Amino acid sequence: MKDLLEQAFDSEKFREMGHRAVDLLANHLAKVAAASGNVVNAEGPEQEFEYWSEYMQQPHGDDMDLMTQFVGRAIHLHHPRYMGHQVCAPVPVAALAGLVSELLNNGMAVYEMGPSATALERWIIEKTAIQMGFPNGGGFLTSGGTLAMSTALLAARARQLGVDSLQTGTAPQWAVMGSSEAHYCSARACHVMGWGQDGFVVVPVDRLFKMRVDLLDEVYERSVAAGRTPIAVVGSACTTSTGSYDDLSAIADFCNRRGLWFHVDGAHGAAVAFCPELRSRLSGIERADSVVLDFHKLLLTPALATAVVFRDGANSWAAFEQKAHYLWDSARQGEWFNVGRRTFECTKLSMSLKIAAIWRAYGTELFAENLRRVHALANCFHALLSQDPRFETAVAPESNIVCFRLHTPELDGPDADGLHVRIRKDLVASGEFYIVQTVLHGRVWLRTALMNPFTQETHLRELLEKLAGFGCRDQKIE
């Protein structure tokens, strides 16, 4: 009779459970591909906690029951009526690579702990750098856009203010500029560096929600006069709320003239570097000093997998000039294979295998095909909205993001905003669709990120009818 540890590591039991787990997920994929069942679990947080609290106290049963329950109650990103946050429906080969990676559990602080993952990471970063227009680029993978942004701006601080800034810290006399539509992680990075809320200097946006590049000099001078000297500018490619791309070439011109670091937050939209038809949206990105790109958004990879890429690969070391003698030989500088020298993480997931599995199986053409598909969906949805007098749109989409509202001329601002909050809540509670909301110029808008390439025009039309029905019921909208 095997003891408990032997049972837990039994290879034949694992083989049997693995087959059952793949069957479970394959059946799930087939079900949601047919648009069957709900997209989202409509239970509230307290009800869900109560469910799992009771479940976890039940006597041990079938080993697969927990996974079955989890799949059934999770949000289903592969469902074509999932149109919410910017997280992709990952391709199965990448999920299987994740299983391999997690069982092997090769952390990547030092080369010896993850040799294959480390080598694959370098290959992926170098290929991605070339896509960005960085022939001598370098960088690394990290766990999400917030860590990536902070690392890039810490590197900017070191290069702009000197490497001693990590040792001695800096007074709150410096700042980073970005638009009012920039992702909150830009301001959070300023907080991490000790510069506070005033360390992020806001540049207004135009009617298309793009940075007002014509105001950059004015905002810069005003910031300096107020005692905050910007060292960097963050351009959005694209913005989270509306999917609008800043004028990267104009920002690069400004940074070059002022001697500032140019960082591009391309967490979502820099993926179009892999699609020739959409690449022009990134014009000027090749002049950036650093770029962030999330593979888990538009590039079909399970979360989290974020690339931080530097035009000059040597700058990838600038954020953390720190000694850790027990991990590596401090006399050997620039060791690309000891990635812990460059990232927040010490123990780092082997996320490169998930990306490499896609690249090896399908090449970059799969990325391009997905990008074409979801951008075409956004254009289709915008056309449907533009032709329907019941709705209005915020801006024509440049990405796969569409912001829209019910047309409610008889309601004032707060009442119209309240209506949209309620109907979005009711829609999600129905479980049939998942969309989100955002605030633009102080008003609430409904927002879709069309992440699933198998969403069809019929699903988009169904969404509009559902929303219009909620609106009529709530406020008797004609």
The Cα–Cα gap between 23 and 262 comes to 47
pLDDT at 115: 94
Tokens representing 90 are: 């990952």
Q: What are φ and ψ of residue 234, in 5° steps?
A: -105, 120
Q: What are φ and ψ of residue 293, in 5° steps?
A: -140, 125
pLDDT at 273: 98
- Return the percentage of the chain with pLDDT > 70, whole number: 96
Phi-psi map region of 90: left, alpha, beta (phi>0 left; psi -120 to 50 alpha): beta
Nearest alpha carbon to residue 44 among 83, 76, 87, 73: 73
What is the DSSP code string of 22-78? HHHHHHHHHHHHTT-S-SS----HHHHHHHHHHHHTSPP--TTHHHHHHHHHS--TT
Tokens representing 130 are: 């070339």
Torsion of CA 308, 314, 320, 322, to 10 degrees: 150
Is 328's pLDDT higher than 50? no
Give the mean pLDDT of 205-215: 97
Is 331's pLDDT higher than 60? no
The Cα–Cα gap between 377 and 328 comes to 49
Is 333's pLDDT higher than 80? no
Interval 410-453: pLDDT, tens: 888 899 999 999 999 999 999 999 999 999 999 999 999 999 99
The domains of the chain, with CATH numbers, are 106-362 (3.40.640.10), 365-475 (3.90.1150.170)
Pairing of strands 443-449, 436-440: antiparallel
The Cα–Cα gap between 174 and 190 comes to 9
Tokens representing 119 are: 């080598």
Is 139's pLDDT higher than 60? yes
Average pLDDT, the chain: 93
In angstroms, how far is the first alpha carbon of the chain from the final one?
72
The Cα–Cα gap between 53 and 138 comes to 46
The Cα–Cα gap between 55 and 72 comes to 14
Q: Contact 176/196 with Cβ under 8 angstroms?
A: no
Strand partners, 306: 142, 294
Residue 162 — very low, low, confident or very high, per pLDDT cuts 50/70/90? confident
The Cα–Cα gap between 312 and 360 comes to 27
The Cα–Cα gap between 283 and 302 comes to 28
* Burial zone of 378 (CB within 10 Å; 0-12 exposed, 13-18 middle, 19+ buried): buried
Nearest alpha carbon to residue 343 among 88, 195, 188, 138: 138
Interval 289-318: pLDDT, tens: 999 999 999 999 999 999 999 999 999 988
pLDDT at 167: 74
- Return the percentage of the chain with pLDDT > 90, whole number: 83
